[in-house]
Structure 1
Amino acid sequence: MTKDLSGIEAIAFDLDGTLVDSAPDIRVALNAALEEAGLELFDLDTVRAWIGDGPDALILQALRRQDLGGSEALRTRLRKAFDAATLAAPLKHGSVFEGIPELIAGLRRALPMVVVTNKPTPLARAVLDAAGLLQPMAGVFGADAAAQRKPAPFLLQAAARQLGVEPARMLMVGDGPADLLAAQAAGSPAALVAWGYGGHAAADAAAVAPAWRVATPQQLLLTVRESRAVRRDEETTTTTRY
């Protein structure tokens, strides 16, 4: 059954795990910060499972794994080092997911797009720029304070206001529970991508916050095109009738 997206007027994308496979770069940045502080380093699979709630939560996970709460001074030091490493090489080890460049190029002619991410805005913009995806975006909404992080609806609501659309007409596309729950809180429809980092946690969240399952970027692009074609036909019919 084809998903009806005829009422959609904008699309909000998550970043890490949705547009880019940035886990290798996040691991390098985290380990650079931990190594500088003389702490334990972590492998890629471990770090990938922690991605989704932003760098502060990532650092806290790393400290807890070492039975460290971490003083505020230590967390601040680690975050500063993490940011520096990210900005120095935003996407040196990772890559854009297959099919994403074609998806963005195709959607650019159809709908305004924004990025809504728990990564702080300067880091998100650096990654998008390195990925060649910054210019097509109408805005980048990063979590620059803890209260803004998904699953709170703050970032989606801010994006909708900037674009001048109702949240109910903006599709949230993401790979994790926070994306689905944020969409539910904002009153936005959601799409859960199959290629991201969310795994079972995202599938469980989908039971609470229903989402359209998207297997490939091409499926999303074709569905948007088909839905918009149907909408144009309906608008033409209505105009002709009156």
Structure 2
Amino acid sequence: MQKKQLIIFDMDGTLIDSGDVISNTINFVRKNLGLLPMPKVELLTNINNPDINSAEFFYGTKKFTEEQTKLFGDYYHNNCISDISLYKGIKELLDEINKHFTLSIATNASAQFANKMIKHLEIKHHFDYVIGSDTVSNPKPHPEMLLNTTKTLNTEIKNTILIGDSDKDRNAALACNMDYLLVNWGFTQHTNQNVIANVEDLKKNILSFR
């Protein structure tokens, strides 16, 4: 594989275990809409499913409404740094690879929330750029975030790799011919043998791109 200069990370399910706050937020919205809570496993399994209409699946509407967006945003703003943690080994991984690569984040969460979360977890200093769904017209699996990042950081796609946990990450990378790696400790469980099983293996893979 081509040597890399830039590593773009997905955030939720890749760097940060935010399953509790995501499921709690969606179920808060559902409760306010008069809907029953959804089991956490079912919710997280589908949060990054590119084959469903998320608004319809979680809230029963064709599109996200202003009420849903406000309820979600208010609850998440107040709770996004509670019940989150870095996956084991991620801090050490970032400490090591940041010596050799430029690092950035491309997340379907808002950049505002993402910056708040990575600051709370004391990893913000590792990232030269954070892009979220509030700063693009098309979130992942559209490649807009990845193309925006490479342009902003003046790096060619061939010298960039995306690290994520979901099919949305994979499809975004494929859409702009970017290399990618999928990890298997996030919200999506993969059976492909090429998926990275643990953080130590991820570190070995990334350092091989020097």
Q: State TM-score, norm by structure 1.
A: 0.77
Structure with higher helix content: 1
Q: Is the 8 A contact 2:56 2:63 kept in 1?
A: no
Separation in structure 2 between the aligned mates of residue 85 and residue 197 of structure 1, nearest angstrom: 21
Separation in structure 2 between the aligned mates of residue 46 and residue 224 of structure 1, nearest angstrom: 31
Query: Cα offset for 1:222?
Result: 2.6
Name the counterpart of 2:201: 219
Q: Unmatched 5+ residue regions in structure 2? A: none
Q: 2:102 matched to 1:102?
A: no
Q: How does 1:1-242 map to 2 (within 5 A)?
A: 4=1, 7-52=3-48, 58-64=54-60, 69=61, 75-144=65-134, 147-200=137-190, 203=191, 212-228=194-210
Query: Cα offset for 1:164?
Result: 0.9
Q: Unmatched 5+ residue regions in structure 1? A: 229-242
Larger radius of gyration: 1
Q: Is the 8 A contact 2:170 2:182 kept in 1?
A: yes
Separation in structure 2 between the aligned mates of residue 173 and residue 112 of structure 1, nearest angstrom: 13
Q: Structure 1 110/89 Cα, relative in aligned 2: closer, same or farther at 3 Å?
A: same
Separation in structure 1 between the aligned mates of residue 167 and residue 118 of structure 2, nearest angstrom: 22
Indicate the SS of the match to 1:148.
Answer: coil
Q: Structure 1 159/71 Cα, relative in aligned 2: closer, same or farther at 3 Å?
A: closer
- 4+ aligned runs moved over 6 Å, structure 1: none
Name the counterpart of 1:238: none
User: Which amino acid in 1 is paired with 2:189?
Assistant: G
Separation in structure 2 between the aligned mates of residue 59 and residue 24 of structure 1, nearest angstrom: 19
Separation in structure 1 between the aligned mates of residue 141 and residue 209 of structure 2, nearest angstrom: 28
Q: Is the 8 A contact 2:103 2:127 kept in 1?
A: yes
Higher relative contact order (CA 8 A, sep 6+): 2
Question: Structure 1, residues 116-160: CA drift from partner, whole Å, max 9, x if none?
Answer: 111222222222223322221111111227842112111001000
Query: Cα offset for 1:25?
Result: 0.4
Taking only aligned residues, the RMSD between alpha carbons, in angstroms, comes to: 2.4
Q: Structure 1 160/146 Cα, relative in aligned 2: closer, same or farther at 3 Å?
A: closer
Indicate the SS of the match to 2:101.
Answer: coil
Separation in structure 1 between the aligned mates of residue 131 and residue 37 of structure 2, nearest angstrom: 30
Indicate the SS of the match to 1:160.
Answer: helix
Name the counterpart of 1:236: none
Q: Is the 8 A contact 1:150 1:178 kept in 2?
A: yes
Q: Is the 8 A contact 1:52 1:176 kept in 2?
A: yes
User: Which amino acid in 1 is paired with 2:149?
Assistant: A
Indicate the SS of the match to 2:13.
Answer: coil
Q: Is the 8 A contact 1:23 1:51 kept in 2?
A: no
Question: Structure 1, residues 164-187: CA drift from partner, whole Å, max 9, x if none?
Answer: 110121110011111111111112
User: Which amino acid in 1 is paired with 2:23?
Assistant: R
Q: State TM-score, norm by structure 2.
A: 0.88
